[in-house]
Amino acid sequence: MRWNFKAGRPGKEIERAWLRTLVAYLNSDGGVLLPGINEEGEILGLGKDGFSNDDQTLRHIENLVVRHIGSTYCSFIRSRLVTVQDEKVLIVACEVASKRAFFSRDKGEDFYIRTGPAILPLEPAQLLSCRAVGNDIQEHCKEV
């Protein structure tokens, strides 16, 4: 969830990546994230993240969502920890939000959508041309 396996250290870039994915899910068709499982399906677990218990892990996720996406969106995101092959894995299920979600960073906000396996940022002009939210946003933004 926050451990960068390639760099061998914790990294804010890892947290930012999955938060941007949640924003894209909120703005598109929803989706499920599985921190602790890599893209090849290998169970890596969350042990290196260093949380002392499950409650601390789940609170950290909620705090990041509130800080970078907003408390309004917590009702669209459900997180739970499960044990797979003796490793803790996180399941984060995200529904389509009823209004557009943005990723807040130090110097502004970014808007993302999900198209197939990709997460795409939209520029303000592109976003203004999109009249829909959720399932229909991709259709309305195709020509942008």
* Site of tokens 């990294």: 11
Mean pLDDT by 10 residues, the chain (144 residues): 80 91 95 92 91 94 96 96 95 94 92 90 78 52 46
Domains and CATH numbers, the chain: 3-141 (3.30.950)
Buried b (16+ CB within 10 A) or exposed e, 35-64: bbbeeeeeeebbeebebeeeeebeeebeeb
Contacts of 10 by beta carbon, 8 Å cutoff, 6+ apart = 2, 3, 4, 48, 49, 50
Count CB neighbours of 5 within 10 A: 11
Determine the pLDDT at residue 137: 53
Q: Locate 80 and state its tokens.
A: 């739970």
CA end-to-end span of the chain: 33
How does DSSP classify residue 95? P
Q: Where are the beta strands (DSSP E) in the chain?
A: 3-4, 9-10, 31-33, 77-84, 87-94, 103-105, 108-115, 118-122
Separation of alpha carbons 141 and 40, rounded Å: 31
Determine the pLDDT at residue 127: 75
The whole model's pTM is what? 0.85
Determine the pLDDT at residue 142: 47
